[in-house]
Copies of this chain bind each other. A is one copy, B any other.
Amino acid sequence: MGPATGAADTGAADTRAADTLAVVGEVAALARIFPRLPNADAALIGPGDDAAVVAAPDGRFVVTTDTMIHGPDFRLAWSTPHDLGWKAAVTNLSDVAAMGATPSALVVAIAAPLDTPVALLEGIADGLRDACAAMSPGTGVVGGDLSVSNTLVLAVTAFGDLGGRSPVLRSGARPGDRVAVAGALGLAGAGIARLFAAAQSDQGTAETEPVAEQPVAKRPVADQPVAEQPVVERPGGARHPDAALGRAVRAAHPAIVEAQLAPVSPLGAGRSAAEAGATAMLDVSDGLVLDAGRIALSSGCSLELFHDAIEAEGRALRELDSTIGAEAEDFVLCGGEDHALLATFPPGAELPAEFRVIGEVRAGQDGHPLVTIGGRPYVRPGGWDPFDDWNGAVG
């Protein structure tokens, strides 16, 4: 991950880096973006015509769409352009993988303010390319749309191929099935909590400023546990995302902050789960308990998460970031944006290597909680919900 890795035009780089969408215009901007986008093996007709044509060898295709909006979904003070492209790819491709499909292609619509540097769009393209190369080689961008807006928007639609298998839905879990997860839990939630707690300032800034000029050492960045840095409200303000502080927090807490800004999803595990006979599956994007509840509700079952397994997940999270204390289990259970795959497998199935068992499907009963942990209901302590929690700040 890290910054964009595309070839830099070192000679004219300074001039080109300052070019905005308004100065360059749509056609020239697209000419700079197109060569950086990943090619799709499934593209029969790629970008450049009214529409693309994509191979769908088994006579069906899987499709999902997800949008990232500047403000509620990301802050330019904290995310690099490369992060944005990377995350836009992963959030969509993991939904395709969660159906048991192999990702094939993406279309990407970007709407950006006229003063947006074209270099920012190039960075997004590089992030899309690098995410596909890292997690789903052969997946590429087959089309898109570039338009102008007061708010930076990335709208991505992703496709996948089932290879003749049935799609794995949320509704197939049966009592006796094991509940298993592939990928990390809780890191992304811990990362965003840390950023909101320690990477905001009174003014905030998305500009690149020398970190040394910021009084980083005096701020509660790395030395104190998250519990002492409440996320929701701090007396005295500190409400705006701050780029220099964001970089400092990222350097001090790389595992959790990068899991939030540029998440890694075990995309191939979706197909493996389907081949192993998974009865239900989804992408953990809104927190483990909430998403497990969706399988439970769709399947008419209850999902018991083993207390020991959740403790083990919490320990793993604390090992990745030693400042995370007793709230580690809460991040695991309700952090959100994990992009892990949660699946249920029948008793006789051999689980793919990527999955670890964390619970069991039980019969659903009216009035019973749909998700229990160690036999008891879990009261969700909250979590980021843009419909409830976004204060309108952009940053």
Considering only CB atoms, which chain B residue lies closest to A158 in the complex? Answer: B51
Considering only CB atoms, which chain B residue lies closest to A169 in the complex? Answer: B49
Considering only CB atoms, which chain B residue lies closest to A51 in the complex? Answer: B64
Cross-chain contact A387 with B25 (CB below 8 angstroms)? yes
Q: How far is the CB of A34 from chain B (nearest CB, A)?
A: 15
Given A45-B167, A107-B65, residue A95 in contact with residue B390 (CB < 8 A): no
Quick check: is A206 within 8 A (CB to CB) of the other chain?
A: no
Quick check: is A121 within 8 A (CB to CB) of the other chain?
A: no
Q: Contacting A107 at CB < 8 Å: which of B69, B157, B281, B388?
A: B157
Using an 8 Å CB-CB cutoff, how does the interface string of A79-112 with B read, 1 for contact, 0 for none?
Answer: 0000000000000000110110100010111010
Quick check: is A276 within 8 A (CB to CB) of the other chain?
A: no
Cross-chain contact A44 with B69 (CB below 8 angstroms)? no
Considering only CB atoms, which chain B residue lies closest to A72 in the complex? Answer: B148
Cross-chain contact A63 with B67 (CB below 8 angstroms)? no
Q: How far is the CB of A113 from chain B (nearest CB, A)?
A: 9
Considering only CB atoms, which chain B residue lies closest to A105 in the complex? Answer: B63
What count of chain A residues pass the 8 Å CB interface test?
Answer: 68
Cross-chain contact A62 with B51 (CB below 8 angstroms)? yes
Quick check: is A73 within 8 A (CB to CB) of the other chain?
A: yes
CA distance A61 to B42 in the complex (A): 11
Cross-chain contact A151 with B149 (CB below 8 angstroms)? yes
Cross-chain contact B63 with A56 (CB below 8 angstroms)? no
Considering only CB atoms, which chain B residue lies closest to A167 in the complex? Answer: B53
Quick check: is A371 within 8 A (CB to CB) of the other chain?
A: no
Cross-chain contact B99 with A157 (CB below 8 angstroms)? no
Q: Contacting A63 at CB < 8 Å: which of B54, B57, B64, B281?
A: B54
- In the bound complex, residues from chain B placing their C-beta under 8 Å from that of A275 are none
Cross-chain contact B386 with A148 (CB below 8 angstroms)? yes
- In the bound complex, residues from chain B placing their C-beta under 8 Å from that of A63 are 51-54, 105, 107, 142-143, 157, 159
Q: Contacting A64 at CB < 8 Å: which of B52, B148, B394?
A: B52
For the complex with contacts A49-B99, A69-B149, 4 further pairs of A-B residues with Cβ separation under 8 Å are A58-B59, A66-B145, A111-B153, A151-B151
Can you spell out 6 A-B residue pairs with CB atoms less than 8 angstroms apart? A49-B99, A51-B158, A55-B59, A59-B59, A64-B143, A153-B155
Show the binding face of A for B, using Cβ within 8 Å.
21-22, 25-26, 44-45, 49-67, 69, 71-73, 95-96, 98-99, 101, 105, 107-109, 111, 114, 142-145, 147-151, 153, 155, 157-160, 162, 167, 169-170, 281-283, 386-388, 390, 392, 394
